[in-house]
Amino acid sequence: MPSLIRVREERLNGTVIAVLDGELDASSVGDVAVVLRRLVENRVHRVVVDMAQVTYLDSAGINLLYAVGGDLSARQQTLHLVVVPGSPIERTLQIVGADRSFPVHATRAEALDS
């Protein structure tokens, strides 16, 4: 069964951007984890996960964000999230407190400017 999410990687001035498009859940989290963990490297200042096109997020996806955020924090780097304001994804992140654990931005430009 093909993955229900696509991941595209971009690099810009010491920032790595992972653009997710689709469903981040138990069936796709393994594929996404491989990509995100590969992005945690010493020459990166921060990782931005652009979730503007994520249509579904479950506990497996949330756990992955916390794991990658912890990996980055151990390197004194930061995980930034891009989430559409008012979306179900934003609400889910608020419920679990992820919006207090990671900087959450309405746009990629806002995340890059922070």
Domain boundaries, the chain: 5-113
Q: Which two tokens stand for residue 31?
A: 């594929």
Q: 76 and 46 in contact (C-beta within 8 Å)?
A: no
Residues 88, 83: Cα–Cα separation, whole Å: 10
Check pLDDT > 80 for residue 1: no
pLDDT of residue 50 exceeding 90, the answer is: yes
pLDDT confidence tier of residue 14, bands split at 50, 70 and 90: confident
How many other CB atoms are found less than 10 A from the CB of residue 34? Answer: 10
Q: Cα 52 to the chain's mean position, in Å?
A: 10
For residue 76 the two structure tokens come to 């004194």
pLDDT of the residue at 3: 65
What's the fold here for domain 5-113? Transcription Regulator spoIIAA (3.30.750)
Please tell me the pTM assigned to this model. Answer: 0.93
